Amino acid sequence: MARDWRKLEEGARAVATSLISDEISRDMVRWRQHLHANPEFGFEETETAAFIVKRLKEFGFTDIATGVGKTGVVATLRAGTGNRAIGLRADMDALHISEAGTAAYRSTNPGVMHACGHDGHVAMLLGAARQLAETGDFDGTVQFIFQPAEEWGQGMQAMLDDGLTERFEMDEVYGLHNMPGIPVGQFATRPGALMAAEDNFEIAISGSGGHSSRPHQTSDALLAACAIVTGMQNIVSRHIDPAELAVVSATEITTDGTVNAIASTARITGDARSYSPGISQAIEEALREIVGGIAVAHGCHAEVEYARVFVPLINDSELTEFATTAAVSVAGAQNVDTATAPIGASEDFARLLNHIPGNFMYLGNGDTEVLHHASYDFNDDALPYGAAYFTEIVRERLKP
């Protein structure tokens, strides 16, 4: 059942920090704040990747692949003679947002900031890599995946196109994301659908336009666009099973018009959210039908471009149980929600789950600003919990 979030269990902090050394915990804070001060946008993470590689070499890693999916890094760690392998993933890109925070480590790259906590995700995975390299208390192979360009849904596909699943053996994969509003030291996940697909669409409408004093001699692209936006409201209410999640949003209309001219062109952009490919397909088909009919009714022509940017994130049921066990080992059963509600946001890790089974976990980030806010800052108190969780996943799944 879903948890009612309460005060962090007494002793949970001691459990988490016992799995990660004090020295590594301190270093994670230093790494995280360095990355926060030096953010890079998707596919531009060259300095971030170099920082990661330098740390990994300091930990004793010798099997490090760079340039995977343009700027991604995959490091391999082996211990014992086991033939099983798991992947652990962190995203490393920042956003085109001007930081409003005043911390000493605030962004030094104007117009770019870590407003989603990927700096923390990288630091936690580096912490787990160091802990496991030092202890070696597992039997098998771990792939540490540092992914570029998660924010705009291109990085994981680039890594897959570059042979991620063929070049690096993995039987199962795990990722996590910090979540403001959940107390530090608490975890949340669920089997099945956890996060939604995101489809983007662009509708281009062409009319004849003309002087606003002679509307009878025009075909009004703006009027057609407004009717299309209204008609789109029928997609969810009349084309989709009410038991299914579906959200269709027109987010912008632009035209070539001026104050005394009827528009000859109009452009509508927006997105759609769902949890299954079938619903995504139904939304696209209904959208195309509605757009075509309304455009013709207004004497206009319309074309629709429809792109599936993010696929739905579906957690494997069995591996979610294992992930939950690891989280409980770190934070205690009362601090792990195993039936958190699905959300409409999207996550690029979902593409990897389409190829290899695994789990995606939320990690409490405390009372911070919401993600993608100009004043957001990752909570460094969460670092030991994330690193301990990754470490415990490896120990549980690759037991000697």
Indicate which CATH number applies to the domain containing 170: 3.40.630.10
C-alpha distances in Å from residue 223, one per residue of 75, 206, 214:
55, 11, 15
According to the model, what pLDDT value does residue 4 have? Answer: 42
- Residues 290 and 376 placed together within one structural domain of the fold: no
Residue bearing tokens 């199962």: 172
pLDDT given for residue 19 in this prediction: 82
CATH number at residue 239: 3.30.70.360
DSSP, res 367: S
pLDDT at res. 15: 55
In a domain, 82, yes or no: yes
One domain, residues 73 and 181: yes
Q: Which pLDDT value is given to residue 17?
A: 56
Give the structural domain span for 359: 12-193+313-397
Contact 350, 313 (CB under 8 A): yes
Q: What is the C-alpha end-to-end distance of the chain, expressed in Å?
A: 33
Q: Are residues 202 and 165 in the same domain?
A: no
Q: Is residue 7 part of a domain?
A: no
List the one residue out of 43, 235, 243, 54 whose CA is nearest residue 151.
Answer: 43
189 with 216, same domain: the answer is no
User: Which residue's structure tokens are 């996590």?
Assistant: 176
Examine the domain organization and report whether 101 and 245 are in the same domain.
no
Task: Indicate whether 282 belongs to any domain.
Answer: yes
In this predicted structure, what is the pLDDT of residue 13?
Answer: 53
Which token pair is 250?
């027109």
Q: Where are the beta strands (DSSP E) in 92-156?
A: 140-147
Residues 71 and 210 in one domain: no
Mind listing the pLDDT tens digit of every residue in the chain (400 residues)?
A: 344 434 444 444 555 557 899 999 999 999 999 999 999 999 999 999 999 999 999 999 999 999 999 999 999 999 999 999 999 999 999 999 999 999 999 999 999 999 999 999 999 999 999 999 999 999 999 999 999 999 999 999 999 999 999 999 999 999 999 999 999 999 999 999 999 999 999 999 999 999 999 999 999 999 999 999 999 999 999 999 999 999 999 999 999 989 999 999 999 999 999 999 999 999 999 999 999 999 999 999 999 999 999 999 999 999 999 999 999 999 999 999 999 999 999 999 999 999 999 999 999 999 999 999 999 999 999 999 999 999 999 999 999 8
Q: Is there a single domain that holds both residue 275 and residue 375?
A: no
Residues 167 and 301 in one domain: no
Query: Are 131 and 21 in the same domain?
Result: yes
| Within a domain: 5 | no
32 in a structural domain:
yes
What phi and psi, each to the nearest 5 degrees, are found at residue 276? -145, 150
Residue 1 lies in a domain: no
Same domain? 230 vs 292: yes
- Dihedral of CA atoms 181, 184, 187, 193 in degrees, nearest 10, equals 30
Q: Tell me if 99 is assigned to some domain.
A: yes
Residues 186 and 329 both lie in one domain: yes
Q: What is the pLDDT of residue 16?
A: 59
User: Which of 310, 329, 360 lies at the terminal end of a domain, its last residue?
Assistant: 310
Q: Of 281, 310, 339, which one is at a domain's C-terminal end?
A: 310
Structural domains of the chain, count:
2
**Domain shared by 132 and 270, yes or no:** no
In a domain, 266, yes or no: yes
Instruction: Among 242, 276, 310, identify where a domain stops.
Output: 310
- Backbone angles phi and psi of 89, in degrees to 5: -125, 140
Task: Burial-class residue 42 by CB neighbours within 10 Å (0-12, 13-18, 19+).
Answer: buried
Query: Is residue 238 exposed (0-12), middle (13-18) or buried (19+ Cβ within 10 Å)?
Result: exposed
- Confidence at residue 293, expressed as pLDDT on a 0 to 100 scale: 98
Q: Is 213 exposed, middle or buried (0-12, 13-18, 19+ CB in 10 A)?
A: exposed
